């Protein structure tokens, strides 16, 4: 795509992930360019705009001016989870397409508001699930969809990182009103979404248990959540989200004819392996680190230019939040909970 035809993005929210992962992704993108930055800290916005070649810098108070900029065609929202809905609705009303970080929002009600706003104003809404574009994950999905594993029986997935208040993560991650939860919406959402995406199936019931070994640090959000998702055809998923273990992630799919495992599954800065055994025969593939954000930015730019619905659209994000709401309810009440998508 010619440089003049690249989709112009504004990046809203300039935390660690945006500064060190999202913004460098534009440097590798072929179809997207960053034209504006928006932050609560105006000096930071101006500094990073100069560093990454954005022509404009705004604050949250001048977000409306950013949306009035004709060079801004899409916004990448990377603010705290509780503000995703408000920034999305304002962007949609201004005719701007929206690429929103996961989790989509802190409640199904907010997700529904975002979906409805983007539909009403005829703009595209995509949730930033970068695994949809990472080659190892794509290959695993193709393998599962080919039925070479046979009828699916079990999925096992974990994503853990070690986090405590006062570290590199800002304080809002430990405030339920701002984050919607702890380990589950931060890292567990990868397990939930990738399992749904790879299998093409929807869970109908959740059972969960929440625990902590550091109650002083985790008074408001979850440190660890183990959950089981039941699917209508007998498929069972067992997942764990943790802020209490070393960085680790995997996704294992087991069928009647074989199994396959992606390890690590969700990190963006590590080589990964896809391996397993099908009908008694071992296989293994290796994948080098690539810039997943560039692929994600380009995919959404394609949807904008070609007026096409993104694969990871707002409905997918809403369903993940519905699953997580059921997981939290089960952990609170100590019983299985039916998942209500109600989209």
pLDDT of 1 higher than 60: no
Domain-located, residue 90: yes
pLDDT band, residue 2 (cuts 50/70/90): very low
Q: In the chain, pLDDT over 70 holds for what percent of residues?
A: 99
231 in any annotated domain: yes
185 and 329 together in one domain: yes
279 & 229 share domain: yes
Q: What is the count of structural domains for the chain?
A: 2
Same domain, 276 and 226: yes
Give me the pLDDT at residue 166, please: 85
Interval 42-52: pLDDT, tens: 999 999 999 99
Same domain, yes or no: 138 and 262: yes
CATH assignment at residue 13: 3.40.50.720
pTM: 0.96
Do 230 and 308 share a structural domain? no
Residues 152 and 56 in one domain: no
Q: Are both 175 and 278 inside the same structural domain? A: yes
User: Are the CB atoms for 315 and 84 separated by under 8 Å?
Assistant: no
Same domain, 204 and 107: no
Identify how many contiguous H helices and E strands the chain contains and give both numbers: 12, 15
Q: 177 in a domain, yes or no?
A: yes
C-alpha span between 225 and 229 (Å, rounded)? 13
Per-residue pLDDT band for 256 (boundaries 50, 70, 90) equals very high
Mean pLDDT for all residues in the chain: 96
In the predicted structure, residue 324 carries a pLDDT above the cut 70: yes
Q: Which domain holds residue 305?
A: 3-130+294-312
Is 317 part of any domain?
no
- Selection from 76, 82, 120, 115 nearest residue 98 by Cα: 76
108 within some domain: yes
CATH of the domain at 277: 3.30.360.10
Q: What is the mean pLDDT of residues 296-306?
A: 97
Are residue 96 and residue 205 in the same domain, yes or no?
A: no
Note the pLDDT tens digit of each residue in 109-133. Answer: 999 999 999 999 999 999 999 999 9
**343 assigned to some structural domain:** no
Contacts of 179 (CB under 8 A, 6+ apart): 80, 81, 82, 106, 172, 173, 185, 186, 221
Average pLDDT rounded to a whole number, residues 235-239: 98
pLDDT above 70 for 343: no
Same domain, 218 and 329: yes
Q: What is the mean pLDDT of residues 165-194?
A: 94
The angle formed by the CA atoms of residues 232, 262 and 32, to the nearest 5 degrees, is 95
Distance CA 332, CA 326 (A): 10
pLDDT in tens, 83-114: 999 999 999 999 999 999 999 999 999 999 99
Whether the per-residue pLDDT at 262 is higher than 60: the answer is yes
Residue 259 lies in a domain: yes
Q: Looking at the structure, tell me whether residues 182 and 104 fall in a common domain.
A: no
Question: Is residue 3's pLDDT more than 50?
Answer: no
* Residues annotated as part of the active site: 102, 190
Q: CA separation (Å) from 285 to 141, 261, 266, 274, 276?
A: 14, 11, 16, 5, 10
Q: Could you tell me if 189 and 329 lie in one domain?
A: yes
């Amino acid at each position: 795509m010619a440089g003049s035809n690249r989709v112009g993005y504004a990046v809203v929210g300039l935390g660690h992930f945006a500064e060190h992962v999202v913004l460098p992704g534009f440097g590798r993108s072929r179809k997207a360019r960053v034209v504006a930055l928006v932050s609560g800290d105006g000096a930071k916005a101006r500094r990073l705009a100069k560093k990454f070649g954005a022509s404009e810098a705004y604050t949250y108070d001048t977000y409306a001016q950013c949306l009035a900029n004709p060079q801004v065609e899409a916004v990448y929202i990377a603010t705290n989870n509780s503000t995703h809905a408000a920034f999305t609705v304002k962007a949609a009303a201004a005719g701007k397409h929206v690429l929103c970080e996961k989790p989509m929002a802190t409640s199904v009600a907010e997700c529904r508001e975002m979906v409805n706003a983007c539909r009403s104003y005829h703009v595209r809404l995509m949730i930033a699930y970068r695994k949809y574009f990472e080659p190892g994950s794509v290959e695993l999905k193709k393998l599962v969809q080919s039925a070479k594993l046979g009828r699916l029986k079990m999925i096992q997935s974990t994503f853990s990182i070690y986090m405590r208040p006062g570290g590199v993560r800002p304080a809002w991650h430990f405030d339920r009103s701002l984050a919607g939860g702890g380990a589950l919406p931060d890292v567990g959402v990868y397990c939930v979404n990738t399992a749904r995406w790879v299998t093409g199936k929807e869970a109908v019931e959740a059972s969960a248990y929440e625990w902590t070994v550091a109650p002083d640090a985790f008074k408001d959000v979850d440190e660890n959540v183990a959950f089981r998702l039941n699917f209508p055809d007998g498929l069972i998923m067992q997942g764990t989200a943790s802020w209490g273990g070393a960085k680790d992630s995997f996704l294992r799919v087991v069928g009647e004819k074989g199994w396959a495992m992606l390890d690590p599954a969700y990190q963006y800065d590590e080589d990964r392996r896809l391996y397993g055994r099908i009908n008694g025969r071992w296989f293994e593939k290796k994948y080098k680190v690539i810039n997943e954000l560039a692929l994600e930015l380009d995919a959404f730019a394609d949807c904008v230019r070609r007026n096409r619905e993104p694969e990871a659209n707002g409905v997918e994000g809403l369903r993940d939040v519905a699953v997580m709401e059921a997981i939290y309810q089960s952990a609170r009440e100590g019983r299985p909970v039916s998942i209500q998508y109600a989209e």
